[in-house]
Structure 1
């Protein structure tokens, strides 16, 4: 592997201290997860989940999925995976994502490729078992502003619409305008025609955002047997109803997660639990359930219920109860025979708050794996990287630091005055010795002179660096231009760009390359040449 092929997540500078410590398996975090993401640990995970996942849940899951897939063309690989979930030797690997317009940022693809490739790896190592890649659609989220747009070649394609209630139930009305804008930007060619067609069929020929997203994800990944799950289903919520009841009556997650957050207080806490971590949902309503004055109240509404009334609704209409970010992982692990959750840094951070709540509810905590991260580069960009003699770590370096480092590298002069400053400090040691033998006011004068001269050297150091930058300005500007191409707004490409920008250039080879080159159990940032 060439030097530019990868950089560790820990050294990339784009992950929090908590995630870096998790990847490094720091001792202080080991109580917060069940098993680390190593291939040998999956055997114990399989055995434990097999014992703890009821067979009757499998039949309900398969029936629900068959119902969800009724209206879309399903590949034989996906059909086979759905049917295999009836078998007690079949397990899932899961990722989840919001219903971003046209997949949103690039890492939507990386999450799904990670679960597909981990399933392949597990099948190689544990051939007597079956492993099904799952994409869990976040259909019950409500933050429309986060998902109503995507970026294409630096332009924002947005869906203008008023929104309330769970986003999965949103009507796709109004997406014609977004399609027209996208169509104009795409231009001509076979790949452009495919992108227009898949956008149109996803969003203009389906009535809800959940149906549109299922169609789109299925079209992109059906060849690899991806199974897409919508948890906003009455039959699946019915399985989860006992845990909802416990949450309502005992507020278990609030107490457990708060205890865990004490362990995590040296880090930035990702999410804080509420007393009740449930929403009450209808088509145009998604509001928190709160307990006040001995009754349950639906926030920002006039709805109020006694214990008996709310539990009666739960029994008859479990689909009206929606877990928030704290409880959604528990819901997922209750209804799926899941071994591992694959997510981004922020997701893994909040999962690390949850194990004690899983233990309280007697549900197996999944292995947590950081998704693959990728930097896509064209051959032309890669040629520039090599011509400019840049390393992969250079590309990930803060721009100011990068410019300073490269200026020092190109210069024939020593731009670091550390030796001169150290020599100066040694001269003042002798002056302090003299000052200690006379009036104390002289010590202050010596100190002031030392500070002044050190400051003078630092200013000279800065002026020399600035002068050398002017000499090498052309090369430095080419470096910054290249870095800005690869890191839009000095952020990760995968968090800003949409897959369509790259699909337009190389078509389905984009997904094929990701499937071929990404290795989910290796903690490095991959550079993939298009």
Structure 2
């Protein structure tokens, strides 16, 4: 399969923070431990080995086996369960929300990056074992972020009847009502072997499982089980009990807020946008019906907007008896992950890495090893036909990523038989007015303002004329302009990156399991560039 690539900076879709991290700018060096390279994993392994509580492995495997009890587990995933019992086994982890039918296409890229990095590390360090893990964000309560997916430009929305939607943890939500979405999906995806398989996956996941977490695990396992992916729901008392010490520190010492506030301030001073601002207590209280913030007032602890409160001794007892009810928010979830997993690396998107970079001082305070942070692979999928169209239109790969008006203006100027660039005329005009400024200064300085006004007026006139000529030329080249716009609209739905909009099913229906196999073959997690993948007609 033909591939091409451009730098992340050329895409114009990544923040300065992420671009500077990828460039290993000195301004960011204090905010992470090791930059992702095969050689640096040797240091990471050594640090994690000394820091990880090996006794957690038994509970981790027991929880996984319990959660997979109703799934036909692949041989490689079973093997990875057993490997996790061993002290020379480490994890490579990505996390994702429980988006309906996986949500945007980059869900696949995250997991492929994780699987591939585990393989690369096994080749480099054959005496160690590396297990790819998908951490399901089952404790999130933002239902509006996960209840839809896009297919063929249409939005498929799930209107849940579960009264806890938007209030409680999404992992426990009932899948009731998804039969209606299935009918719409089945009609849209059409027929054929691949489409029929997608319909089967959707139906078995959502119509034969009662909870959203179980349905999501089923889908992810169907797609990636053969590659040994381990899927974890960490909302379990056997795992949460190992996080109790950190929860106590959060409740009574407000450790995350104290340790990250300075980091947030320094990142701000360096000109970076802050992804997450820490609260004083970054914990929720989680029940079957709701997930609400815990706040402290006058030495007692309250559940926000609920008639529930504890004294210090009472909340300690609650934590001991029900550790699963204490749910970390986005600031604490990374620490929880690194406490319970023998993890070396977290793989995420730009937004995720942005908030991870706020956390190193918190990890240092809690004496937990900070993982290597790796930007997930990004890619644009195009067909051979689309690639030939691009070449015929003489559009380079970097030009393809321009804003549409910039791309069209550039191409119209290039293919036009007249020069619609008045830059030389503007420069000549500015030079002429420079002489007028000097003359006015020598005669009567009060005329400087009048000269300036005239200069602005004439420059504005040239700009308007340039725009009118360009507009006229666009009309003259209407067919060419439409072909350029149509191609870009196909590849950048809603004027955004394809991976952030389209659902995988649109491509799976066309290419089947070959889609995932080719992603596995072509996405190198340690190759810091944006891939363009050209698929032929299967």
TM-score, length of structure 1 as denominator length: 0.98
State the secondary structure of the residue aligned to 2:291: strand
Cα shift at 1:420: 1.5
Cα shift at 1:512: 0.6
Q: Identify the match of residue 176 of structure 2 among 148, 173, 177.
A: 173
Q: Which residue of 2 aligns with 1:295?
A: 300
Q: Which residue of 1 aligns with 2:311?
A: 306
Q: State the distance in 2 between where 1:329 and 1:187 align.
A: 40
Q: Which residue of 2 aligns with 1:338?
A: 343
Q: State the distance in 1 between where 2:481 and 2:14 align.
A: 27
Q: Which residue of 2 aligns with 1:46?
A: 45
Per-residue Cα deviation, 1:419-446 (whole angstroms, up to 9, x for no partner): 2222222222222222222233333332
Q: Which residue of 1 aligns with 2:7?
A: 8
State the secondary structure of the residue aligned to 1:55: coil
State the secondary structure of the residue aligned to 1:437: helix
State the secondary structure of the residue aligned to 2:55: helix
Q: Which residue of 2 aligns with 1:521?
A: 526
Q: Which residue of 2 aligns with 1:187?
A: 190
Q: Which residue of 1 aligns with 2:376?
A: 371
Cα shift at 1:58: 1.3
Q: Which residue of 1 aligns with 2:215?
A: 212
- Are residues 1:354 and 2:359 paired? yes
Gap change, CA 1:451 and 1:217, over 3 Å in 2 = same
Cα shift at 1:133: 0.3
Q: Which residue of 1 aligns with 2:257?
A: 254
Q: State the distance in 1 between where 2:453 and 2:290 align.
A: 67
Q: State the distance in 2 between where 1:514 and 1:449 align.
A: 59
Q: State the distance in 1 between where 2:318 and 2:360 align.
A: 29
Cα shift at 1:15: 0.7
**Residues 96-495 of structure 1 mapped to structure 2, 5 A cutoff:** 96-161=95-160, 162=163, 163=165, 164-265=167-268, 266-495=271-500
Per-residue Cα deviation, 1:29-71 (whole angstroms, up to 9, x for no partner): 1100001111111000011111111221112211211111111
State the secondary structure of the residue aligned to 1:264: helix
State the secondary structure of the residue aligned to 1:297: strand
Which deviates more, 140-149 or 160-169?
A: 160-169
TM-score, length of structure 2 as denominator length: 0.96
Q: Which runs of 5+ in 2 are unaligned?
A: none
Cα shift at 1:293: 2.4
Q: Which residue of 2 aligns with 1:92?
A: 91
Aligned Cα root-mean-square deviation (Å): 1.3
Cα shift at 1:413: 2.7
Q: State the distance in 2 between where 1:459 and 1:154 align.
A: 36
Q: Which runs of 5+ in 1 are unaligned?
A: none
May I ask how many residue pairs the two structures share in their alignment?
529
Q: State the distance in 1 between where 2:496 and 2:295 align.
A: 38
Q: State the distance in 2 between where 1:150 and 1:187 align.
A: 17
Cα shift at 1:28: 1.1
Which deviates more, 51-60 or 488-497?
A: 51-60
Q: Which residue of 1 aligns with 2:25?
A: 26
Q: State the distance in 2 between where 1:463 and 1:54 align.
A: 69
State the secondary structure of the residue aligned to 1:39: coil
State the secondary structure of the residue aligned to 1:267: coil
